[in-house]
């Protein structure tokens, strides 16, 4: 046992003390490759020799690069009895600018002394040229690995001046109206087999966004070469007017490494496998100029921008007093159909109106969001007669002309007749021969002794209480009227002060509902009521876009607004879009929303 212990002490002395005393400290740094394009990733390796106790490297200014640490490694050498150590630090450099960069050396510190490496130098050029030529889309078909590899081997001799891969990002319209649907399209072109790919989409700030085509692959021909195209389409709706910008889009993808030695890069030695290296493909930012809605806006405008139509129908034109007629209004078109709202006419005094929850049907297609929203209104007559049901109207903004277009349904004539006999209650007329039966059980018992009906003597305190009751009533009415006048004069202030308490009460009420859609609808209404009360608004039925515009005017952190919008979108999808989220996600929405509203309330 003693032998092993001494051996351990000997090895420890070699590895932890000998390197410090027998080797000089030196620092070397190298960037590979020293010439690259904006799409390449470079590797910076810093090697510290002679000591394992030096501090981590201090890098020079690298404003033109994004620096990502990628790990460390250590090694030991024993040469002629001398023990040496090395520690290597690796970094990934992603260039963001082109040019020639002369940077200083890398520094480390040991026992208060600074050790500096050689200076660093690197040249970054523009990305290779994208081939020109009008794409000719072929039938949608995903090629197999064998097809793509065969095509690459057949054409690679003619690819010297042709870029084998690149990405594009574009918009269908850079000058839309607020809430007008535009499409953001991302495309990845490639001639070669690629490895893992990671797409980094921009943050669509000031836009409502929804993915309509997750991924589609097809062939296209450019300059006589057949490319594989991967495409993603996202529908965007601007939330405000003015100058907006969508940041750049990047794709990190593994591509075949053509820098390897040509002898060992031969397919015979590769055994069918490719040496891969990462590439960072970047599509530039996109600038937009969003137009505001023209003024004046019609009163029945509900934020719909695009091509829409309105169709109306009546379940029956002949009903009785004890029946009802159902008026159906169907709004269809392309765009944010969720914003469609129904404005009830004011001339239906002879009917009671009961509107049902709208039915929403949204579909995703390559040309964006489209669908229909169906409103149903029950008309209950209050008297007999022939009535004219005026047409319902809805105004939309036509982005092609910039004018508001009224959508008007058809008028209807409704005939209301008397109710059926079974629905009328029978009336007992005077003089009827039906006898009235009287039982002696209907009479109170007769007391034949006065002692059993003694009156209780009223106490003095009870008499005083009766005396002061009128005064208490007068005081109560006075205070009640005073408070009522105060609340009427300060209604907005009272609503603002009680907004959070009313919201929490509504959320507790929603938690007791068993039906998922009813519960989520109650959550949405609680948020709308909170925003309306907190902002002192009279408008009801606020849309998500309107609530987000109110929050934009307040000093609320962007991440809080984004989380608020995400949760409400989840509620809307559950209520109107038929989306059923995961239970774990669903259970978190209401507590997160309550906590978020509390934080927002403190900022307002």
pLDDT > 70 fraction of the chain, expressed in percent and rounded? 74
The 3-state DSSP composition of the chain as helix, strand, coil percent (nearest 5) reads 30, 35, 35
- What mean pLDDT comes out for the span 31-49? 86
- Cβ–Cβ contacts within 10 Å for residue 355, how many? 13
Q: Between 5 and 199, where is the model more confident?
A: 199
The model's pLDDT over 193-242, given as tens digits with 9 standing for 90+, comes to 888 888 999 999 999 999 998 889 999 988 888 899 999 999 999 999 99
Cα angle vertex 388, ends 383, 393, to 5°?
125
pLDDT of 148 above 60: no
* Distance separating alpha carbons of residues 45 and 28, to the nearest angstrom: 8
pLDDT of 133 above 60: no
- What mean pLDDT comes out for the span 359-372? 91
pLDDT of 243 above 70: yes
Q: Could you list the beta-strand ranges (E) of 191-334.
A: 197-200, 207-222, 225-238, 242-246, 249-256, 276-283, 286-290, 301-305, 308-314, 318-320, 325-334
SS3 for 465-528, per residue? HHHHHHHHHHHHHHHHHHHHHHHHHCHHHHHHHHHHHHHHHHHHHHHCCCCHHHHHHHHHHHHH
The model's pLDDT over 112-132, given as tens digits with 9 standing for 90+, comes to 888 888 999 999 887 654 444
* Distance separating alpha carbons of residues 44 and 25, to the nearest angstrom: 20
Question: 497: which 2 tokens?
Answer: 């002060």
Q: Between 420 and 221, where is the model more confident?
A: 221
* Confidence category of residue 147, pLDDT binned at 50, 70, 90: very low
- Cβ–Cβ contacts within 10 Å for residue 18, how many? 17
Place of tokens 């090694």: 75
pLDDT of 162 above 90: no
pLDDT of 360 above 80: yes
DSSP 238-263: ESS-EEEEE--EEEEEEEE-TTS-TT
Dihedral of alpha carbons 601, 338, 207, 204, sign: positive
Rg (CA), the chain: 39
Q: Between 170 and 570, where is the model more confident?
A: 170
Q: What does the pLDDT read at residue 11?
A: 54
pLDDT > 90 fraction of the chain, expressed in percent and rounded? 22
Residue ranges and CATH numbers for the domains of the chain are 2-125 (2.60.40.10), 136-290 (no CATH), 303-419 (2.60.40), 491-603 (1.20.120)
CB-count burial class (<10 Å; 0-12, 13-18, 19+) for 324: middle
* Confidence category of residue 179, pLDDT binned at 50, 70, 90: very high
Distances 266 to 195, 262, 275, 431, 452 between C-alpha atoms, Å: 19, 6, 11, 118, 124
- From the list 543, 531, 480, the residue with the least C-alpha distance to 502 is 531
Q: What does the pLDDT read at residue 145?
A: 41
Question: 342: which 2 tokens?
Answer: 């129904």
CB-count burial class (<10 Å; 0-12, 13-18, 19+) for 13: exposed
* Confidence category of residue 309, pLDDT binned at 50, 70, 90: very high
Phi/psi of residue 42, each to 5°?
Answer: -105, 155
Q: What does the pLDDT read at residue 346?
A: 60
Residue 38: strand, helix, or coil: coil
Give 319's strand partners.
416
* Distance separating alpha carbons of residues 306 and 237, to the nearest angstrom: 11
- From the list 572, 570, 537, 573, the residue with the least C-alpha distance to 553 is 537
Q: What does the pLDDT read at residue 127?
A: 65
DSSP 63-84: TTEEEEEEEEEEEEEEETTEEE
Q: What does the pLDDT read at residue 2?
A: 56
SS3 for 493-510, per residue? HHHHHHHHHHHHHHHHHH
Mean pLDDT score across all residues of the chain: 77
CB-count burial class (<10 Å; 0-12, 13-18, 19+) for 525: middle
Q: Between 120 and 435, where is the model more confident?
A: 120
Q: What does the pLDDT read at residue 132?
A: 44
Place of tokens 């480390």: 108
Cis peptide leading into 296, omega within 30 of 0? yes
CB-count burial class (<10 Å; 0-12, 13-18, 19+) for 89: buried
* Distance separating alpha carbons of residues 211 and 233, to the nearest angstrom: 6
* Distance separating alpha carbons of residues 446 and 458, to the nearest angstrom: 25
* Distance separating alpha carbons of residues 92 and 260, to the nearest angstrom: 20
pTM of the model: 0.55
Yes or no: say if 406 and 397 are a contact pair by the CB < 8 Å rule: no
Residue 52: strand, helix, or coil: coil
* Distance separating alpha carbons of residues 516 and 525, to the nearest angstrom: 14
The lowest-confidence range among 236-240, 329-333, 594-598 is 594-598
pLDDT of 90 above 70: yes
Question: 500: which 2 tokens?
Answer: 């959070």
Q: Could you list the beta-strand ranges (E) of 366-439.
A: 368-381, 385-389, 393-398, 403-408, 412-417
pLDDT of 270 above 70: no
pLDDT of 156 above 80: no
């Amino acid at each position: 046992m003693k032998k092993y212990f001494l051996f351990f002490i000997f090895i420890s002395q070699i590895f932890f003390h000998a390197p410090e005393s027998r080797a000089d400290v030196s620092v070397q740094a190298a960037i590979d490759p020293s010439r690259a394009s904006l799409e390449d990733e470079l590797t910076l390796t810093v090697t510290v020799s002679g000591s394992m106790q030096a501090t981590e490297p201090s890098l020079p200014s690298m404003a033109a690069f994004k620096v990502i640490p990628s790990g460390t490694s250590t090694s030991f050498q024993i040469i002629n009895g001398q023990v040496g150590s090395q520690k290597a630090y690796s970094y990934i450099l992603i260039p963001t600018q082109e040019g020639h960069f002369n940077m200083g050396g890398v520094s480390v510190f040991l026992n208060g002394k600074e050790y500096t490496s050689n200076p660093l130098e690197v040249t970054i050029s523009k990305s290779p040229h994208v081939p020109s030529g009008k794409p000719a889309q072929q039938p949608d078909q995903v090629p197999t690995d064998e097809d793509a590899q065969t095509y690459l081997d057949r054409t690679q001799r003619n690819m010297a001046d042709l870029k084998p891969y690149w990405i594009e990002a574009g918009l269908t319209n850079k000058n839309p109206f607020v809430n007008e649907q535009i499409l953001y399209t991302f495309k990845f072109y490639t001639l070669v087999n690629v490895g893992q790919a990671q797409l980094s989409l921009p943050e669509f700030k000031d836009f409502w966004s929804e993915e309509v085509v997750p991924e589609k692959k097809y062939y296209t021909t450019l300059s006589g070469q057949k490319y594989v195209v991967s495409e993603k389409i996202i529908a965007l709706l601007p939330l405000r007017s003015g100058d907006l910008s969508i940041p750049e889009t990047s794709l990190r993808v593994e591509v075949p490494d053509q820098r390897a030695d040509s002898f060992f890069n031969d397919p015979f030695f590769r055994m069918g496998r490719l040496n891969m290296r990462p590439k960072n493909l970047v599509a530039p930012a996109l600038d937009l100029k969003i137009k505001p809605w023209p003024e004046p806006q019609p009163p029945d405008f509900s934020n719909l921008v695009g091509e829409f139509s309105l169709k109306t129908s009546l379940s029956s034109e002949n009903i009785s007093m004890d029946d009802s007629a159902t008026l159906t209004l169907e709004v269809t078109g392309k765009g944010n159909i969720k914003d469609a709202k129904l404005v009830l006419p004011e001339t239906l005094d002879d009917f009671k109106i009961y509107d049902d929850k709208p039915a929403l049907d949204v579909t995703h297609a390559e040309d964006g969001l489209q669908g229909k929203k169906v409103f149903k209104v029950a008309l209950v007559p209050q008297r007999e007669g022939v009535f004219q049901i005026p047409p319902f109207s809805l105004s939309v903004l036509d982005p092609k002309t910039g004018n508001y277009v009224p959508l008007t349904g058809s008028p209807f004539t409704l005939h209301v007749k008397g109710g059926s006999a079974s629905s009328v209650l029978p009336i007992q007329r005077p003089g009827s021969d039906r006898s009235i039966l009287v039982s002696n059980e209907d009479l109170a018992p007769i007391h034949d002794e006065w002692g059993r009906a003694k009156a209780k003597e009223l106490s003095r305190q009870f008499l005083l209480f009766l005396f002061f009751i009128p005064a208490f009533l007068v005081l109560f009415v006075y205070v009640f009227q005073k408070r009522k006048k105060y609340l009427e004069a300060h209604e907005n202030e009272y609503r603002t002060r009680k907004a959070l308490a009313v919201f929490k009460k509504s959320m507790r009420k929603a938690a007791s509902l068993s039906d998922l859609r009813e519960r989520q609808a109650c959550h949405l209404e609680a948020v709308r009521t909170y925003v309306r009360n907190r902002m002192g608004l009279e408008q009801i039925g606020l849309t998500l876009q309107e609530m987000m515009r109110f929050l934009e005017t307040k000093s609320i952190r962007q991440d809080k607004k984004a989380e608020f919008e995400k949760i409400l979108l989840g509620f809307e999808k559950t209520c109107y879009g038929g989306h059923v989220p995961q239970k774990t996600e669903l259970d978190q929405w209401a507590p997160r929303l309550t906590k978020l509203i509390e934080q927002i309330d403190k900022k307002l």
